[in-house]
Amino acid sequence: MSKSLLLLDLACPNCGEELTQGNRIRLNGWIRDTGQEGPVALSAVFGDYSIETDLDIPEGTVIDLRCPTCEQSLLLNIPCRQCHAPMASMDLKAGGYVEFCTRRGCRAHALGGAGDIDAMIGLVNRLMNTPHD
């Protein structure tokens, strides 16, 4: 049995620039503890936690992610409910947003919308290209 993959088509919440290229989300990263900065590519497949970068990001490290176009931070002023690191957010081109923890190894993430269950079901249906709304 094959597993259907949900490829997230994401944009910067600040400037609207498309961040998804193929199956990767192209961002810039900065690690405060070491002063390292450079390109970071996250998987655009929902539930795939792979990352491509030349930065040294050990488990537990928090990274500030930025839009490569406008250089604005994607961090929110909201702590992760699991590890208390800052959450980051990007806009879904289908509507709504995705939030995720910025600590390497933490898998906390959420799809968000207008705040009610009908809006959330509609968002998932649009993302999955299903005919129901």
Q: For residue range 122-131, list pLDDT tens digits in order.
A: 655 665 566 5
Q: Which of 79, 100, 82, 94 is nearest to 27 (CA)?
A: 100
Place of tokens 């992760």: 80
Ranges of each domain in the chain: 10-128
- 49-78 tens-digit pLDDT: 899 999 999 999 999 999 999 999 999 999
Give CA torsion, residues 72, 110, 78, 22, to 10 deg.
-10
- 3 has pLDDT over 60: no
CB 108 within 8 A of CB 101: yes
Which pLDDT score is estimated for 124? Answer: 59
Residue 45: predicted pLDDT: 87
Q: Name the pLDDT band for 46 (thresholds 50, 70, 90).
A: confident
What CA–CA distance (Å, rounded) separates 81 from 55? 26
Place of tokens 């289908």: 94
